[in-house]
Structures are given as C-alpha cells and as structure tokens.
A and B are shown apart, each in its own frame.
Chain A
Amino acid sequence: MTSQAMTLPRVYQVDAGPTSESTPFRRLLIAVALTFLAAFLWLPLAAVFVGALREGLGVYWEALTDPDALSAIKLTVIAALISVPVNMVFGIAAAWAIAKFEFRGKSLLITLIDLPFSVSPVIAGLLFVLLFGSHGWFGEFLAEHNIRIVFAVPAIVLATLFVTFPFVARELIPLMQEQGTEEEEAAIVLGASGWQTFWHITLPNIRWGLLYGVILCNARAMGEFGAVSVVSGHIRGLTNTIPLHVEILYNEYNATAAFAVATLLAFLALGTLAAKTLVARHLRGHH
C-alpha cells in the first residue's frame, strides 16, 4: 500500500463543480428541454411562415390585400383602439385606489378584477349574447330601437373589453403598492394639486409598468378569438376580426391564405415578445 493512487478512494474530474451536474448530464437536460420547446413552440411558429409563403410572395400579398382581409384588419385595430385605452384608464384608477389607500374589501376587489382571466373566452362571448341577443335581457328594447349589438361591432368591442379587462390593472397594482405613497405625499405637502402630483410624480414612476400592461393588453385585444367568435356572427367584410378571418379561410381549405393572414398575428406576437422583453429590462432596472 505504498502507492499513492491506492489511497485515493474516489476521484472526480475537476470540471464538474460540487453543486452542478456532470457535463454530459447537463447537455442531456438542455437537449431534452430544447427538443420539447422545438416541438411545442418553435416548429408551430415556423410553420406559420412556411405555410404562408408556400405558394410564393404573390399569393401571400394577395391574401393580405384581399378586401375582406383589409376590413378584418380595420375591425381588429378599432377594437384594440377602443379597449386598450379604456382598460388603461380603468387600470390606473383601480391601481391608484388599491395601492394608495387602505379600505375594507380590498382583497375581494383584487380577486374580482382578476376574474375575467378564469372565465373561458367562449363564456365571455356568451355573456353578451345573453344580455344583448334577440332573446336577451335588453333584446326587445334594442330591437324596438333598431340597435344591433350582437353580431355587430359593439359586441366585438364589449367582448374584447371583457377579456382584456385585468391586464393593465394587475401590472400596476403590485408596482404601485411597492412604490408606496411617500413621493406623492411629499408633492402634496409641497403644494401640488392632485393632477399635478399624478402627472409629475406617479406617472413617471409607473410608466414602464403601464407600458408593459398596455403591450400585453393590446396583444390579447388583437388576438382574441373565442369570445369574439361567439358574438361576431362571422359576417365577412363586416364583423370579422383578423383571427376570425383566419378561421374562415382555414375552414374553407384555403390554408395558404389562412397562414398568410396569420403571419400578421405572428408578427404581432413576436413584436409583443420583443417589446415585453425590452420593457421588462427597464422595469427591473428601475427598482
């Protein structure tokens, strides 16, 4: 037993740290994770673009400039232009009340604000059919006054409002709670009015969080399918949004055109992810 090697019970390679996995095992885990992500996320994303360009750029462009596609784009933009600002104003008001003041029933209020996230989009659409449809609560009144809500633009906007309701508020509430009330109180003590305090103190502090919420809200507003599908009536050129137009084209076995229009939404998604990543960096840097 004179050899030194005999006294080495078990010997490990230097490169594997004591609290890390061995290099081969690490590589295996990375490979499995990336394969999973490829099968479920990346391939579907790539397939949208490949499917859209299968018959060339000409066909792609034709599908995008089809009058029905253009009117779907228009309606989608209108729905987003209404629902995003309205929910933004609501989000700011709700966050102001919840984060800056103490009152009874606050946690119930927060739960209620999050409620639309746990309602199936199909049910969200159904709600407005029940209220404004021909057999709905206000059905007779609306029919008498010749106002159309369901199977028309107003219901699409309402359904979009419902499904995007919590986005801005749930970003702002924790952010404003964390920031507390000291800065605003200082401004008030220095003689600023309520609006001045909000514009010059609160808004600059929450701008990245607000932007983050607006980005997410907009993505959902433009991409919502289930809720809008129930209330729209699928009237071509009138009550179709981009996602509904994609569905119609796909069900008509016009897959290339469906994917062509879907690329618009895929670009929206990629733009959303990029913007979200950038804004998140600012949000983290801000603290």
Chain B
Amino acid sequence: MFRQSNVLPGFNISLGFTIFYLSLVVLIPLSAVFLKSFTLTWDEFWAAVTAPRVLASYRLTFGASLAAASINAVFGLLVAWVLVRYEFPAKKLVDALVDLPFALPTAVAGITLATIYAKNGWVGQFLAPLGIKVAFTPLGVVVALTFIGLPFVVRTIQPILEDFPKEMEEAAASLGATRVQTFVMVILPSIGPAVLTGFALAFARAIGEYGSVIFIAGNIPMVSEITPLMIVTKLEQYDEAGATSIAAAMLVASFLLLLGINLLQAWSSRVLPPAAPDQLEEPA
C-alpha cells in the first residue's frame, strides 16, 4: 500500500513538489560534491585530505568542537537547571536570550567575540595577566564554538527537566538519599540522554561552523585554521578539486554524526521509555 485511503486532496501535488524542490535545492547540489571528488584518482583525493595543514585543521576542528560541546554540556545543564528550578529577577528575559546564538548572525558573533576576548578587550584584559591568551589561539576557537552550541544543549535539556516528576525526588528523599545522591542516582540518569543529545547537536554544529570562528581564530596555518576555512582557502587558490575533497570528507563525517544522533535518540527512547502516562498526570 503506497498511500492510505484518504479523502484529503493534494497528496500527489504536494509530495511531488516537495521531492522536486528538495532534489533541486539540496540533493543535486550535494551530489555534485561527491561526483566531483570521484573525478579525482584515489591518490589525489588522499593527498588532498591528508595534507599536514589539513590534518592540523581536523585536529583543531574536532578538538575544539569536542571541548566546546563538553563545556556546553556542563554549563548548559547548569543554565537549564537554574532556568527550570529557580526564581530570580528578569528570568524570562534571560531565558529568551539563551537563543541569541541562533538569532545573531555568525559574522557579528565573530567580530564581537574577537573584540571582547582580545587582550585589551572587556574579558581578555582580565585573562591576559593570568597568561591566558584567547583571541588568535585555539582557545579562541573554543570560545566561539561554545557561543554557537549553547542553545542546543539548554533547549534539549529544558523540556525534559520541566517534565521530570517531582515525586521521584521526594521518593528518593524519603528513602534517605541526600540531595547529591538524588541528583546523581535519580535525576542525572533520567536527563542523561538529553544531555548527550544536546552535546551531540552542539558538536555537529561546531564542526561546520565558520563565521563566528574565523575572526577570533587568527587563522594561523597549522595552529588555528579550522577545516571549513581550509575549504575556503583552497577555493581562493582556484583549487576546486582540493576544496571538494575536504568537503566530501567533512560531509561524510557530518552524516555519520547525524546517523549517530538519530541512533542515540532511538536508543534513549528505547532504554528510557517516556514516563508511563499515569506517572505524568498531576494528582487530582
């Protein structure tokens, strides 16, 4: 059975248009990357994606993305916790501003982060005496990627934490658990999959991020060049084949990550079934 018997009209035209437009704007252009990289010999391709400067960029991109996603997993959980559990002045405003990285164009984020984390900037001037250099170092890349990834973690954890039944914590307390035990043994296992999913989303976004990073990174070859920048550099040198090879490698990594996230979500919904309906209801 291809489609259910349904009295509603417009199935063929809406699905047809969806597939047509999807192919035109997304699928055909994406296939161009792979077809183009197939025109290279394997050796050419391998040389392009394993050049020392490119390898250094992978290390930086993945390392900084991992660091930023980890920072966000910790602080994003803290921010979500504070927003859900506590009351403080201007909470609604604080909550709305969490989405700033979604809304603020990356170029703006890039120049403003580069400015305040420069050694004479608002934040940088306090870090410089401690010997911490942020702008134009890999640390700057981490700062920019942390900015970009924060809402992914907060917005993934927040609804789960809001739905977490208070009774579970009361049950733990009545059984003699301390607050720390309750958090580690009862709350964290329940929101763990959400933290992990938020982490993975932030990580995936960070890998491909460009605009917010290039201003603060300084783009020093072998030190603070991210992989997307390598693609741009190759293109500017009219090395389309090299750019395409790196892009193909990145796409494969991104798609594997996407697959991983989907498996993670499927796994967490299987291992941790949502609360039975009657556990979610408010007592009458």
Same complex origin of A and B: yes
The 10 residue pairs across chains A and B that have the minimum distance between CB atoms = A223-B105, A120-B208, A225-B211, A194-B9, A127-B29, A226-B210, A269-B103, A97-B15, A243-B107, A122-B228
- Is A229 within 8 A of B4, CB to CB? no
Q: Which of A63-71, A111-119, A141-149 faces chain B?
A: A111-119
Distance A43 CA – B257 CA, assembled complex (angstroms): 32
CB distance from B212 to the nearest CB of A (A): 8
Distance A265 CA – B105 CA, assembled complex (angstroms): 7
A-B contact pairs, 26 of them (CB 8 A): A33-B78, A34-B94, A40-B147, A41-B98, A44-B109, A48-B112, A112-B22, A115-B258, A120-B228, A122-B247, A123-B250, A129-B240, A130-B33, A158-B25, A181-B6, A184-B8, A197-B9, A223-B105, A225-B105, A225-B107, A243-B105, A243-B106, A262-B107, A265-B105, A273-B100, A276-B103
**A224 contacts B by Cβ under 8 Å:** yes
Distance A257 CA – B188 CA, assembled complex (angstroms): 47
- Is A48 within 8 A of B207, CB to CB? no
In chain B, what residue has the closest Cβ to A33? B82
| Total residue contacts A-B, CB cutoff 8 A | 278
Q: Which of B32, B79, B112 contacts A130 (CB 8 A)?
A: B32
Distance A96 CA – B14 CA, assembled complex (angstroms): 7
- Is A115 within 8 A of B123, CB to CB? no
In chain A, what residue has the closest Cβ to B174? A18
The answer to whether residues A37 and B94 also contact, given A101-B3, A120-B210 and a CB cut-off of 8 A, is: yes
Distance A120 CA – B243 CA, assembled complex (angstroms): 13
- Is B122 within 8 A of A250, CB to CB? no
Binding site for A on B (CB under 8 A): 2-4, 6-11, 13-15, 17-19, 21-22, 25-30, 32-33, 36, 75, 78-79, 81-82, 85-86, 88, 92, 94, 96-113, 115-116, 121-123, 143, 146-147, 150, 166, 169-170, 173, 179, 182, 204, 207-211, 215, 228-229, 231-232, 235, 240, 243-244, 247, 250-251, 254-255, 257-258, 262
In chain B, what residue has the closest Cβ to A124? B29
Distance A286 CA – B255 CA, assembled complex (angstroms): 36
In chain B, what residue has the closest Cβ to A45? B100
**A5 contacts B by Cβ under 8 Å:** no
In chain A, what residue has the closest Cβ to B79? A33
Interface size on A, residues (CB 8 A): 96
Q: Which of B30, B102, B122, B247 contacts A43 (CB 8 A)?
A: B122
The answer to whether residues A126 and B235 also contact, given A45-B112, A272-B103 and a CB cut-off of 8 A, is: yes
The answer to whether residues A133 and B86 also contact, given A101-B3, A104-B2, A123-B250 and a CB cut-off of 8 A, is: no
- By a CB distance below 8 angstroms, the chain A residues around B4 are 101-102
- Is B79 within 8 A of A37, CB to CB? yes
- By a CB distance below 8 angstroms, the chain B residues around A161 are 25
Q: Which of B22, B147, B235 contacts A113 (CB 8 A)?
A: B22
- By a CB distance below 8 angstroms, the chain B residues around A118 are 204, 208, 254-255, 257-258
**A219 contacts B by Cβ under 8 Å:** yes
The SS class assigned to the B binding surface is helix
- By a CB distance below 8 angstroms, the chain A residues around B81 are 29, 33
The SS class assigned to the A binding surface is helix
The answer to whether residues A43 and B231 also contact, given A36-B78, A273-B97 and a CB cut-off of 8 A, is: no
Distance A230 CA – B230 CA, assembled complex (angstroms): 12
**A259 contacts B by Cβ under 8 Å:** yes
CB distance from A100 to the nearest CB of B (A): 5
CB distance from A82 to the nearest CB of B (A): 12
**A246 contacts B by Cβ under 8 Å:** yes
- Is A246 within 8 A of B107, CB to CB? yes
- Is B208 within 8 A of A133, CB to CB? no
CB distance from B54 to the nearest CB of A (A): 14
CB distance from A135 to the nearest CB of B (A): 6
The answer to whether residues A41 and B33 also contact, given A33-B75, A47-B115 and a CB cut-off of 8 A, is: no
- Is A266 within 8 A of B108, CB to CB? yes
The answer to whether residues A93 and B204 also contact, given A120-B250, A126-B33, A247-B107 and a CB cut-off of 8 A, is: no
Contact digits for A218-232, partner B, Cβ 8 Å, 1 yes 0 no: 010011111001100
Distance A188 CA – B102 CA, assembled complex (angstroms): 40
CB distance from B262 to the nearest CB of A (A): 7
